[in-house]
Amino acid sequence: MDMLRLCRSDNIGVRDLAPALFLQLNKDQECYDFLKWYATTGQEGDYNWGNMDLGFLDVKNADAFEPVDVFVREFADLGHTLSITLIKIRMLGDLRSLQSSMVFGEKLSQEIVDNVRSQLVSTIISGNKEIMYSRDQSKAIQRLESQVTKLYKAVKKSNPYF
């Protein structure tokens, strides 16, 4: 991140390596924020990369459940689109795990169930209290399934061999 801070224009391509590193370190929210900044502010044609007073990678705690339209534009970076896809797939798996864990709620105390559920999921899901304490994840699951399908199609369009 210091390399990017020192050379915002990133003439050596560090921005292409960072998302994979974030994902390997289980820093899904930080990865999402990074990718969101590059998909929004980083795409502005009039952004002055040399102006150190402008905000840089300043997206924090972006809503990872939001629509993926900003990430599936034409000529999007394949690595960035793949990283968003992996985040969304992980979120989808987490929601399915939460939905399945409701079976234990009838047999164990709520404190134990809440502790188990918090260990099942990534930081994006565990940080969302509304989802963590919801008994029905079906609407969020449907929304994420739709987003993952859209991302799959974008990746295939970008590179049918991947």
pLDDT tens-digit map of 44-67:
999 999 999 999 999 999 999 999
Average pLDDT over residues 3-16: 92
Does residue 71 register a pLDDT over 70? yes
**Closest alpha carbon to 39 in 66, 6, 1:** 66
Average pLDDT over residues 150-158: 94
Helix (H, G, I), strand (E, B) or coil at 147: helix
Does residue 115 register a pLDDT over 70? yes
- pLDDT given at position 74: 84
**Closest alpha carbon to 22 in 65, 104, 79, 83:** 83
Judged by phi (left if over 0) then psi (alpha if -120 to 50, else beta), residue 48 lies in beta
Q: Find out whether 71 and 80 touch, Cβ atoms under 8 Å.
A: yes
Give me the half-sphere count of Cα atoms (radius 13 Å) on the Cβ side of residue 155: 17
- pLDDT given at position 122: 86
Q: What is the DSSP letter of 58?
A: -
pTM here is 0.90
- pLDDT given at position 106: 67
Radius of gyration from C-alpha coordinates of the chain: 18
Helices (H) and strands (E) in the chain, counts: 8, 0
- pLDDT given at position 105: 61
Average pLDDT over residues 98-108: 74
- pLDDT given at position 100: 83
Average pLDDT over residues 115-137: 84
Q: How far is CA 74 from the centre of its chain?
A: 19
Which residue, chain included where needed, has tokens 């939905």? 99
Average pLDDT over residues 144-149: 98
The pair of structure tokens assigned to 39 is 């998909």
Does residue 81 register a pLDDT over 90? yes
